[in-house]
Amino acid sequence: MFRPVLKDLKAIWVLDSRSNPTLEVFAYVQRKGNIYIDSFIVPSGASTGEFEALELRDNEKDFHGKGVSKAIKNVSFILDHLFNTYVDDIFEVDRKLIELDGSKNKSNLGANAILGVSVAIAKAVAKSYDIPFFKYLSFWTKSYDYYLPVPMMNIINGGVHADNDLDFQEFMIVPLGFDNFSNAIKASSEVYNTLKKILKENGLSTSVGDEGGFAPKIDSPFKACEFIITAIEKTGYKAGKDFFISLDVAASSFFKNNKYIYSKNPVDYKELMNIYEKLILNYPIFSIEDPFDENDWDSWKEFTNKYKSKILIVGDDLFVTNIERIEKGINNNIANAVLIKLNQIGTLSETIKAISLANANGYKTIISHRSGETEDNTISHIAVNNSYFIKSGAPARSERNSKYNELLRIYNFYNLNYYSQAYKTISIIQN
């Protein structure tokens, strides 16, 4: 029998970058008499969207309620149902997982348990065929174009990821003007360390936030952009040519009683939109993620109408990697890019469907880490296969660099091209 069969699943807890426990699931697959083992560690968000699939936590004394022993038990329950079955069709495996759970948001077994199993099995199967995961994914994505994705690197942290007064969550550099991935990473690392120096010179802290970016005690997005531009230019690169800036506002996190709390004052969506306009006019902004609350579709629509030909407008909390919500966005001309997070939806195949749906409708996709991360680098492979952008935090801290380092390995061993088409996305800005 040449088809891979599931022989075992083991789940354990390991620690993530915020010292919270999370699930690592190991899948044991048998093919041609040999056993192949691979694993996946599930990440965890802090600025979670209201419509995300449910991450099952114990809510008991251990780990401040964040234990995952229930999710671990649920992996055994899944094994009882999948043991000795063929696992070479990810859509079929995931269909069974969704059916076993039986809820709309994976709240019975937990999206962490389900995703751990879904990805670990797919990785073990890829191993059994002796092909790298990014190539194995082609069976399901039908995409055989492999590119090194353009990284969006969060070098100033704010919002719920940092202990400062920045309302916006992420200020990222995007190295678009480089001929290959390795040079893009080298330059980004240089800019990161220049920024560190500049912050120090200005008497600001160089301690970092959850995603490895600096978390200086500043309170204005303009100041953050100003520091970044200075860092780019001082390193010897050109802002608006070599590097662009991307923002993740994560606006749901400061939306209270129908107002956005900006600089400690409640403002309406129009005022927030004016701030974005000023930022777009003054800095080389490549994308803005979650500019408005996840339920504020009208503001999203107005913003999209105005800026869709100038920048990428990225839905994260808005879309939560959910096909129905992405469809709603497409049908209503809302946003033009989708942030993709595996654990927002909870299975590999649904993630792939979300990417395919977005791509087919001209929406760019950005494969994303979570703020609570580990050394797992699976998302790098997903980005190489079917997406052109990856967001994995600063080029610092091992849980962030594990993704960039895996891409460097893929670059060096497979000699893939950097996603030069990204220029086309920004050509509108430059004109």
From 186, 208, 187, select the one nearest 196 (Cα to Cα): 208
From 398, 397, 385, select the one nearest 148 (Cα to Cα): 385
Shortest distance in whole angstroms from residue 230 CB to ligand 2PG: 24
360's tokens: 């087919």
Residue among 253 and 380 whose Cβ is closer to Mg ion: 253
Q: Report the residue number whose CB is nearest to ligand 2PG.
A: 45
One of 52, 55, 211, 289 is an active-site residue; which one?
211
C-alpha span between 28 and 121 (Å, rounded): 8
Instruction: Tell me how far apart the terminal alpha carbons of the chain are, to the nearest angstrom.
Output: 59
Residue among 211 and 406 whose Cβ is closer to ligand 2PG: 211
Chosen residue from 12, 14, 37, 46 binding ligand 2PG by CB under 6 A: 46
109's tokens: 């077994």
C-alpha span between 248 and 289 (Å, rounded): 4
B/e letters for 315-335, b = 16+ CB within 10 Å, e = fewer, are bbbbbbbbeebbeebbeeebb
> How many residues of this chain bind ligand 2PG (CB under 6 A)?
14
Select the span of 45-53, 56-64, 122-130, 423-431 touching ligand 2PG (CB under 6 A).
45-53
Shortest distance in whole angstroms from residue 316 CB to Mg ion: 4
Chosen residue from 39, 371, 387, 401 binding ligand 2PG by CB under 6 A: 371
| Contact positions with ligand 2PG (CB under 6 A) in 57-116 | none
- Specify burial of residue 37 (Cβ count, 10 A radius: 0-12, 13-18, 19+): middle
168's tokens: 């916006």
DSSP 89: -
The answer to whether 335 touches 318, Cβ cutoff 8 Å, is yes
| 235 is a contact residue toward ligand 2PG (CB under 6 A) | no
Shortest distance in whole angstroms from residue 210 CB to ligand 2PG: 7
C-alpha span between 295 and 74 (Å, rounded): 32
Shortest distance in whole angstroms from residue 136 CB to ligand 2PG: 26
Q: Does the annotation mark 211 as catalytic?
A: yes
Shortest distance in whole angstroms from residue 228 CB to ligand 2PG: 17
From 326, 260, 357, 339, select the one nearest 299 (Cα to Cα): 260
| 141 is a contact residue toward ligand 2PG (CB under 6 A) | no
| 316 is a contact residue toward ligand 2PG (CB under 6 A) | yes
Select the span of 365-373, 379-387, 402-410, 420-428 touching ligand 2PG (CB under 6 A).
365-373
Which residues would be at the binding site for Mg ion (CB under 5 A)? Answer: 248, 316
Q: Does the annotation mark 73 as catalytic?
A: no
- The residues binding ligand 2PG (CB under 6 A) are 45-48, 170, 211, 248, 250, 316, 339, 368-371
